[in-house]
Amino acid sequence: MSAGTWESHHAITALMFRYAECVDGADFSGIAALFADGRITNEGVEGAIVGSDAVRKLYERTNRVHDDGTTRTRHVNSNVIVDIDEAAGRASARSSFVVFQQTPALPLQPIVSGRYRDTFARSGAEWQFECRHILVDHVGDVREHLTFDLSGFFDER
């Protein structure tokens, strides 16, 4: 694969960064739109969340929305490497993430970090997520972010 065109690289990284912006803003419909024809998988979890309705419901069910209407998080995506096959209309990317959070009950701190392994497909002129595979490497205090107890889950991997 190659670096692809600047336009394709920009469109793909914009999708990656839009995901972070939507999670931080509790825009679960926005996340759903990013995966209208895609899926989300998680390392160590069987199955996939497929399509916009399932993705929206997952984020609504698992993410705490605070009084200001946001998740009170900041997803920072870094070390983005994108490989693009322009002729085939396919691409892959790998990146790292750190999620920071601050709430009235929690001082500013990193709460989770890991990696994304993404695939993309081009439909016409538009790039879209095919799959976002999430690998969680470190988990801190996520009680103000998630609606379920994640403690110990990733220790069993």
Give the residue among 28, 31, 33, 30 at the shortest CA–CA distance from 64: 28
- Whether 59 is in a domain gets the answer yes
Query: Rounded distance, CA 109 to CA 26, Å?
Result: 19
- Could you report the per-residue pLDDT of 125-140, keeping only the tens digit for each? 999 999 999 999 999 9
- Whether 1 is in a domain gets the answer no
- Residue 48 near residue 39, CB atoms below 8 Å: yes
Question: What residues form DSSP beta bridges with 84?
Answer: 2, 91
> What is the number of domains present in the chain?
1
Query: Rounded distance, CA 78 to CA 42, Å?
Result: 19
Beta strands in 19-156 (DSSP E): 39-42, 49-50, 73-85, 90-103, 106-123, 126-139
CATH code of the domain containing 150: 3.10.450.50
Alpha helices in the chain (DSSP H): 6-24, 28-34, 52-62
- What is the longest distance spanned by two Cα atoms in the chain? 51
Please report, in angstroms and rounded to a whole number, the separation of the first and last CA atoms in the chain: 31
pLDDT band at 148 (very low <50, low <70, confident <90, very high): confident
Which range marks the domain in which residue 123 is found?
A: 6-156
pTM: predicted TM-score of the whole model, two decimal places: 0.92
- Could you report the per-residue pLDDT of 15-66, keeping only the tens digit for each? 999 999 999 999 999 999 999 999 999 998 999 999 999 999 999 999 999 9
- Whether 43 is in a domain gets the answer yes
